[in-house]
Amino acid sequence: AQRVTQPEKLLSVFKGAPVELKCNYSYSGSPELFWYVQYSRQRLQLLLRHISRESIKGFTADLNKGETSFHLKKPFAQEEDSAMYYCALRRDDKIIFGKGTRLHILP
């Protein structure tokens, strides 16, 4: 079965420290992966997708097919990064989401 696993429900990181939000997937084909973010009192929105190989708000994510991972990283955390982060996988015509990781940036 195709699924997305985010092992951490909550991640607390000090401001200025590096951030890594873990995501592992299982998919039989060629995966298309995304990270979505939901800030407090805002709607869920796309942060980045692996096919774009982009850096958004200092975040990057590299698809590692050998480890079936798509971890989200940022070298220096900022307080405004506190939010709920969802890793997601495109399966056929829909997006399948992980259970999410709440990132809490400590001052």
Partner 1 sequence: GAGVSQSPSNKVTEKGKDVELRCDPISGHTALYWYRQSLGQGLEFLIYFQGNSAPDKSGLPSDRFSAERTGGSVSTLTIQRTQQEDSAVYLCASSSEVIGTSGNTIYFGEGSWLTVV
Nearer to partner 1, 80 or 93 (CB): 93
Distance separating alpha carbons of residues 49 and 74, to the nearest angstrom: 15
Nearer to partner 1, 25 or 86 (CB): 86
The CB-of-17 to partner 1 minimum distance in angstroms stands at 25
Decide: 29 and 90 in contact? Cβ < 8 Å.
no
The CB-of-49 to partner 1 minimum distance in angstroms stands at 8
Helix (H, G, I), strand (E, B) or coil at 25: strand
The CB-of-106 to partner 1 minimum distance in angstroms stands at 23
Extract the tokens encoding 35. 């990270």
